[in-house]
Structure 1
Amino acid sequence: MTVAPLVPPVPVADLGAAVDVLHAHGLRVTGARRLVIDALLAAERPVTADELAGTLGGRCDLTSVYRNLETLEAVGLVRHMHLGHGPGRYALAGAPEREHLVCDGCGAHLAVEPERMDGVRAAVRAAFGWQARFSHFPLAGLCPACTTTTGPGAPHHAHP
């Protein structure tokens, strides 16, 4: 199981700011790192490593993309999340923080502002003493459409 990073997020607005963060951590700014950061800056949503590699037109292979994402995450520039059973998705840490709900029935995904989940977090804390967060792994269940179709207790199967 992957673990959410404990490094504080470092929001950046552009490549220059990201380069400054890398230098502050004693890291080199390679061509591949620049490409990955540029692709994340251009992405309008969290993307998979495969999607990132695809946007780079062969200028950076998938292994290099993963390696650079790991390095960028270790210094707080990138966050990753899991939305169900698919591959991890990556975004710059400067993107507005979101928490996630995912439907086990149809795979629908809803990104919400963290404060909208405060009641859920409070209930988990009251019942178990745990401080829950849903930014790395989503809160899974059935969306309203699947609940209506299958009923709240009915068995369901995720769509491929």
Structure 2
Amino acid sequence: MIFKRTLIIFAILISIFGFCNSALAYSGNTGDVTPTPNMIAIYYPETWSNGECTWDFTQSQWNYIPKTAEIGAVQLIWNMIPSSGYSGAHVALFNSDYSTGYYMPNNILTNAFEGEPFHQVFKCKFWVEQKQYPGQALYCVPKLLVYYDLP
């Protein structure tokens, strides 16, 4: 019961305070993007840790998607394991050369990266403002959904 209550309070605090840092603040539409029928859902097969994970859409397994495909919208679903003892989690998604990056709210479809090529490497990083247990690793299990358009 206490765990459930703590989880609910944490969810409320995250939704109220959100992502206040403006260095990567997302300024596009969130939640009102109409997805295309072309959706790719990628679940990272292992627990994500050490603050980073990568999705490589340049690999041959993605050759069935035309090279002209462009990103229409992306959605990142991430869950921090609450028992890790953290506060103030932040997650950002970057393109392959880190020239474009956005804070990614959990489970919200956004038009971030719209118009960029589908066939690229995406890098995701997470960090927290405070750890309750110094030296303890933090873990996250991400899933990336990419909607692409064929121009």
* TM-score bracket for this pair, using the shorter chain length: under 0.3
- TM-score w.r.t. the length of structure 1 is 0.23
- Which structure has the higher relative contact order (CA within 8 Å, separation 6+)? 2
- Of Structure 1 and Structure 2, the greater strand share is in 2
Structure (1 or 2) with the larger CA radius of gyration: 1
- Of Structure 1 and Structure 2, the greater helix share is in 1
